[in-house]
Amino acid sequence: MDQDKVKKMIEAAKMYYFKDYSQQDIADKLGVSRPTVSRFLQQAKEDGFVQIRIMDPSEDTENLAYRLKQKYNLAKVIVVSVPHYEENLIREYLAEDTALYLDEIIKDDDSLVLAWGQLMHQIAKKLHHKHVNHVSIVQMLGGFTHLEDNRYQSEILHLFAQALDSHPYFLPLPAIVDHVLVKQAMESDKYIRKILEMGKQANIALFTVDTSHSDSAFLQSDYFSNEDRTEIKLKSAGYIGTRFYDKNGQLCLSELSTRMIGLELEELKRKERSILVAGGAEKVEAIYGALNGRFANVLITDQLTAKSLLEKDQELNSRIDPSNAFPLSGIPLY
């Protein structure tokens, strides 16, 4: 769309939403037809120039965010009000607010290490272009050539790199291998060592969680035996990437972890911003375990998940070792 049309589209949106002009009044002022005004208004929403939010006074998301921040000792919490509690809608709203948050915080010389999955893909698609210098986009873990999510892996990095005028760094390896010796051989490669080190050095991590009790394609893949799946469901509350932890945030299933390629969960604790984006009733236990493990210092979730996390009876603050807390001095607490 040329600049003249963009200008008219924005003028139409301002008159319609700010001044309560009718579409016919706008058409008369701009010298276009009423259907053209209708198309302008629709296009303005689709292109992100107009963003409509419905604020439900019965849900004080700022209060929920403050209470979560205090309970789990987080640097920042964003609670998103979702109108209908449906998985696809939750994912869409979380992705939109995450994209806006990233637009606020990303600056020159940042390095982002990214997980993969459907939510991450939606976030990538909702990013607005922002010119920054010397930003790196790094793949957090290896991939799965035979899973549906594989088609998102390279596209997520490409979309982030395109939005931020930056360069993507791929980890062209499987997420899990058959034996630790295979992993060690792969990680001895000079290029692979470089990418893994970039993931460690990245100052921003962006990821989601999943529950160990789901029937996800990952858990049903050939990488796991039936005995593995039974152990996963018995011992873990969730997983980040491919690494499992229990409800208290303790790493578990260590034998499996020795065969996994990618960023260790302990590295998430060292990030300037370790951003967990997740929501939905089925994810509560997985989010709870991740917060107990202190794998995130920024949480983006929906209002009902926020309420469920506040109702969890274990108060994390009572057992925090202050010497092991996140370095919050460099993070704006807004």
**What is the enclosing helix (H) or strand (E) of 309?**
helix 303-311
User: Both 8 and 81 in a single domain?
Assistant: no
User: Both 7 and 139 in a single domain?
Assistant: no
User: Both 131 and 176 in a single domain?
Assistant: yes
pLDDT tens, 49-58? Answer: 888 766 554 5
CATH number of the structural domain spanning residue 22: 1.10.10.60
Tell me what pLDDT residue 85 has: 84
Tokens of 119: 């939510």
Torsion sign (Cα): 277, 55, 124, 136? negative
Q: Which residues contact 63 (CB under 8 A, 6 or more apart)?
A: none
Tell me what pLDDT residue 75 has: 98
DSSP-derived secondary structure letter, 290: H
Does any domain span residue 11? yes
User: Both 70 and 199 in a single domain?
Assistant: yes
Does any domain span residue 121? yes
Does any domain span residue 167? yes
Tell me what pLDDT residue 46 has: 87
Tokens of 322: 């202050």
Its domain, for residue 208, covers 61-319
29-34 long-range contacts (CB < 8 A, ≥24 apart) are 32/8
Tokens of 219: 């858990």
pLDDT tens, 251-302? Answer: 998 788 888 899 999 999 999 999 999 999 999 999 999 999 999 999 999 9
3-class state of residue 206 by DSSP: strand
29-59 burial code (b ≥16 CB/10 A, e <16): ebebeeebbeebbebbeeeeebeeeeeeeeb
Question: Cα 93 to chain center, whole Å?
Answer: 11
Tell me what pLDDT residue 2 has: 78
Does any domain span residue 333? no
User: Both 36 and 161 in a single domain?
Assistant: no
Tell me what pLDDT residue 264 has: 94
User: Both 43 and 131 in a single domain?
Assistant: no
User: Both 191 and 265 in a single domain?
Assistant: yes
User: Both 172 and 254 in a single domain?
Assistant: yes
User: Both 38 and 187 in a single domain?
Assistant: no
User: Both 72 and 121 in a single domain?
Assistant: yes
Domain count, the chain: 2
CATH number of the structural domain spanning residue 110: 3.40.50.1360
User: Both 185 and 311 in a single domain?
Assistant: yes
What DSSP assignment string belongs to 11-69? HHHHHHHHS---HHHHHHHHTS-HHHHHHHHHHHHHTTSS------TT--HHHHHHHHH
Nearest to 217 by CA among 112, 296, 147, 292: 147
Does any domain span residue 54? no
Tokens of 21: 């002009």
Does any domain span residue 328? no
Does any domain span residue 326? no
Q: Which residues contact 179 (CB under 8 A, 6 or more apart)?
A: 259
Does any domain span residue 289? yes
Each residue's pLDDT, cut to its tens digit, for the chain (334 residues) gives 678 888 889 999 999 998 889 999 999 999 999 999 999 999 999 888 888 766 554 568 999 999 999 999 999 999 999 988 888 999 999 999 999 999 999 999 999 999 988 999 999 999 999 999 999 999 999 887 655 555 577 899 999 999 999 999 999 888 888 889 999 999 999 999 999 999 999 999 999 999 887 677 677 777 777 888 888 888 899 999 889 999 999 999 878 888 889 999 999 999 999 999 999 999 999 999 999 999 999 999 999 999 999 998 644 444 434 334 444 434 443 3
Tokens of 233: 């469901």
Say how far apart CA 237 and CA 212 lie, in whole Å. Answer: 6
Tell me what pLDDT residue 71 has: 97
DSSP-derived secondary structure letter, 329: G
User: Both 192 and 168 in a single domain?
Assistant: yes
